[in-house]
Structure 1
């Protein structure tokens, strides 16, 4: 039996300059809800030897605290490393899916930024566009009206996987996600939309939580899938996705019983003075392709 997830907390975006990225995300309708600036702490349970420390912001859109946020971080200890995925068919967390009120106005506002636009603005049925930021991280911008709840903000995450059927079974069996379609669909990545030499054949399947479809995971298995997901938490890119649970220790026991490899038990982490709680319980583990999943126990607010 799958664990019970309450809602999506955030997608983690590791960058070289969180102030520059904060300005970019502001143009996409986000605002900083909290400063994330904890003291150095033990990084073992995150997969880092020695001390770990980061600086950044919890970037939110809208007033619903249960809407998915962007966990915008620049690692200080150890320093941030690496580059984000360049190829459309590289395994791993590929793109933030962000819904906006006005696609054309957003596209115009971003033209002054130092960004790499992947193809032209699409104005037909699926209005939107794609771009990469200064660190090469990809964003898929969509019209909010195609979302079920019509709200702007972080709408989902595009995840490239080596086996769409195995990954679907894992997210459904262990995390309780449901599929929004019966079978994967052929959804080619078009050359003119992604600024590549040719269309890339791709299987696609959309998952969501059964009681909340405001955040989706768009599984993709593109032709020629290759590579490995980020291996360390301080790597540039979209490293992990966090979900809220009621009892993290109970979830840890259930995942272990189901054979999910959790390298370490839950750890209590300091989030810094900008967060209205002393800290949170967190658990880190990995999906079949090595993408990091984080569970966060919903804190009791006194």
Structure 2
């Protein structure tokens, strides 16, 4: 440069120029050391999620449920339906409530709705059947939908003798839409007998007679043996019917 100084503006950064060696390129390490570091891109913090023991997705948690309280059936004639279930199955009325406050309509999502509801406890059951009659009913799309229609479709009750139950239903003039039949497959449900019928409002109700222990194990059911071949065994809990 012949001893001359290069002009530099105030505040301007400059990189020192390394002397060049004839026939050699400047060392890369020296160039890196000479480079002036600039501000790098900011790293965004990773989002934090509330982790709950047992959860499967970030930020979600399972709702603790303490049991099934009731099965609700809306009816246009509450007294008729209550008399039907108490008379046919021996159900007990445990509640009879008038729901007339604005809070009720707000809670069910139908502002201004009022209703009367009755809770029925069936023998041997902890879950109750809730019958409700609204002052104003919404028209159902298909009140007599078949068993394969989407949605909550039927109420299932256990009985000890499906044949006797079927005879009682027909004697009362009720519509038996299917059965009684006995399940042969799968093996886990073999021997289960069941039928479907409709209550006075057209709702589907299923009656299930669980298999005997011998039938569930693949042996002939005592109820199908010739007379004198032995008494039937005690019925066990409901099988896994298809």
Q: Deviations over 1:129-170 (max 9, x none)?
A: xxxxxxxxxxxxxx98xxxxxxx3222201100100000011
Q: For each residue in 1:161-196, what CA deviation from the matched residue of structure 2 results, as whole angstroms up to 9, or x when unmatched?
A: 010000001111112211114xx4212472432334
Per the alignment, residue 250 of structure 1 pairs with 164
The aligned residue for residue 269 of structure 1 is 183
Distance change >3 Å, CA 202–CA 272, structure 1 → 2 = same
- The change in CA–CA distance for 1:230 and 1:237 in structure 2 (over 3 A counts) is farther
- Are 2:106 and 1:154 equivalent residues in the alignment? no
Partner Cα separation in structure 2 for residue 260 and residue 243 of structure 1: 16
Residues 248-288 of structure 1 deviation map (CA, whole Å, 9 limit, x = unaligned): 00111122122222234401235635xx2325211110111
By how many angstroms is 1:209 displaced?
1.5
Larger Rg: 2
- Structure 1 gaps of 5+ residues are 1-25, 28-107, 112-142, 145-151
For 1:299, what is the secondary structure of its paired residue?
coil
Which residue of structure 2 aligns with residue 200 of structure 1?
113
Distance 1:224 1:230 in 2: 20
Asked if 2 retains the 8 angstrom alpha-carbon contact of 1:271 and 1:280, the reply is no
Higher strand share: 1
- Aligned pairs, how many? 153
Contact 2:190 2:211 in 1 (8 A): no
Hey, what's the Cα distance between the residues in 2 that align with 1:155 and 1:272?
Answer: 30
Superposition pairs of residues 1-302 of structure 1, within 5 angstroms: 109=61, 152-181=66-95, 184-188=96-100, 190-196=104-110, 198-212=111-125, 214-225=126-137, 226-227=139-140, 228-270=142-184, 272=186, 276-302=188-214
Deviation at 1:289, TM superposition (A): 1.2
Q: Deviations over 1:91-128 (max 9, x none)?
A: xxxxxxxxxxxxxxxxx8369xxxxxxxxxxxxxxxxx
What's the TM-score once normalised by structure 2's chain length? 0.56
Give the superposed CA RMSD: 2.7
CA contact (8 A) 1:230 1:239 kept: no
Deviations 1:61-89 (A, max 9, x none): xxxxxxxxxxxxxxxxxxxxxxxxxxxxx
5+ unaligned residues in a row in structure 2: which ranges? 1-53, 215-242
Q: CA separation of 1:161/1:195 partners in 2, compared to 1, >3 Å: closer, same or farther?
A: closer
Structure 1 Cα separation of the partners of residues 133 and 171 of structure 2: 29
Which structure carries more relative contact order (alpha carbon 8 Å, separation 6+)?
1
Q: How far 1:290 moved relative to its partner?
A: 1.1
Residues 268, 160 of structure 1: alpha-carbon distance in 2 compared, 3 angstrom cutoff: same
* TM-score, normalization by structure 1: 0.45
Mapped partners of 1:266, 1:218: distance in 2: 27
